[in-house]
Amino acid sequence: MPRTTPTTLITNITSLVTNDPAQGDGTPLGLLTDAAVVLDGETIAWVGPAAKAPSADETYDAQGRAAIPGFVDSHSHLVFAGDRTQEFNARMSGRAYSAGGIRTTVAATRAATDAELEANLTHYLAEALRQGTTTFETKSGYGLNTEDESRALRIAARHTDEVTFLGAHIVSPDYAEDPAAYVDLVTGEMLEACAPHARWVDVFCEKGAFDGDQARAILTAGKAKGLHPRIHANQLSYGPGVQLAVELDAASADHCTHLTDADVDALAQGNTVATLLPGAEFSTRAEWPDARRLLDAGATVALSTDCNPGSSFTSSVPFCIALAVRDMGMTPDEAIWSATAGGAQALRRDDIGRIAPGARADLAFLDAPSHVHLAYRPGVPLISEVWRKGARVA
Ligand code: NIG
Ligand code: FE
């Protein structure tokens, strides 16, 4: 077969996070200094010390910057319309966060045209890409009827393979008097219409949203339609979400802010990743999830944005890394691993989240000599260049 794309040798990377423990210093981060990477089309072909780099058709000089795998944001809610500035203002004046604010976004989302929803989604995707995110998951959950949930998923699926059906975000306002009938709708007609457009099924398992039995019914129905579960679990209070996630082999239990010792043990023993979303605690002024406790117990931790107009209106993974290091007991190395390889595990993907032969060529270059600067220099736009599938995209 004649070669259709030239190979590219990227040299002069002063410090490279590979997430390949076989590389470099033998830590999970697989850190290489004075590194080079060879890209072959959309894929990484070679990684190692610059001194040993093979030749390639083209050469690109990274000019002494650090590089990391593109971020894998495994939890966002980007198909929505409107904003909730007033609600945020009220919270910052002392009002508590309540999931009821979701209704405001449901009304705005239902009223929006497809074109408006897609323009909003692409706006936040471009924002995330500029900040180093090369893979993102996103959900429905602001439609809460069959038509608006399925259109949200159709729009999302044009932009990512990681699409999640969250018809069970809260009980639809149309069913306020009959939550059981809403669960029937979600597990019946709505699931039927939504499953072809999604990979995942999610439930907000929380007081005021869905209890453990309802969540089990919804996730089990989703599984029967070929969707794989993930759960909004233990965000606002203690509850059954984490245990249910492990029981159902969910890829991820998301939030994990209120955990008993039994919850931590279950996550440490099971295959379910604990996805922590510190943007939500930041903008709801809630207590931080305890990443240190989870890591010390042996659980796998991912870090993501939860970008949504209510509880966490940030698309910035670097911001979440800085919060996790400052307030959740993570080291910079752990936080960067969690935002890349951890996110990939939360999506059960092994082609992303690492810079190793065979992985997708997704890299972020930092205007800094080391990945540690992402936490050390919070709020500074250090992502200077982003490559996705072997092409420079930002
Ligand atoms: O992940 N917890 C539930 N859902 C979102 C919040 C959505 C909203 O407030 O609009 C979350 O934090
Ligand atoms: Fe969320």
Q: How many angstroms is it from 285 CA to the middle of ligand 2?
A: 16
Return the domain boundaries, the chain: 7-70+353-392, 71-346
- The model carries a pTM of 0.98
> Would you identify the CATH topology of the domain 71-346?
TIM Barrel (3.20.20)
3-state secondary structure of 379: coil
Asked whether 156 and 163 are in contact (CB, 8 A), the reply is yes
Q: Are 60 and 16 in contact (CB under 8 A)?
A: no
Q: Which ligand 1 atom lies nearest to the CA of residue 142?
A: 10
Q: Is 142 annotated as a binding residue?
A: yes
- Which ligand 1 atom is nearest residue 255's CA? 1
CA distance 394 to 385: 5
Ligand nearest to the CA of 82: 1
Query: What per-residue confidence (pLDDT) applies to 5?
Result: 83
Q: Annotation-wise, does 151 bind a ligand?
A: no
pLDDT at 234: 98
Predicted confidence at residue 47, as pLDDT, reads: 98
Q: Which residues contact 256 (CB under 8 A, 6 or more apart)?
A: 233, 234, 242, 263, 267, 274, 275, 276, 289, 294
Report whether 318 contacts 335 (CB < 8 A): no
Determine the atom of ligand 1 nearest the C-alpha atom of 284.
12
Of 9, 84, 95, nearest to 49 by C-alpha is: 9
Place of tokens 């219409």: 193
Domain 7-70+353-392: CATH superfamily is Urease, subunit C, domain 1 (2.30.40.10)
The Cα-based distances of 62 to 51, 167, 364 in angstroms read 15, 44, 11
> With b meaning 16 or more CB within 10 Å and e meaning fewer, what string describes 334-367?
bbbbbbbbbbbbbbebeebbbbbeebbbbbbbbe
In tens digits, the chain (394 residues) has pLDDT values of 556 789 999 999 999 999 999 998 789 999 999 999 999 999 999 999 999 999 999 999 999 999 999 999 999 999 999 999 999 999 999 999 988 899 999 999 999 999 999 999 999 999 999 999 999 999 999 999 999 999 999 999 999 999 999 999 999 999 999 999 999 999 999 999 999 999 999 999 999 999 999 999 999 999 999 999 999 999 999 999 999 999 999 999 999 999 999 999 999 999 999 999 999 999 999 999 999 999 999 999 999 999 999 999 999 999 999 999 999 999 999 999 999 999 999 999 999 999 999 999 999 999 999 999 999 999 999 999 999 999 999 9
For residue 108, the ligand closest to its alpha carbon is 1
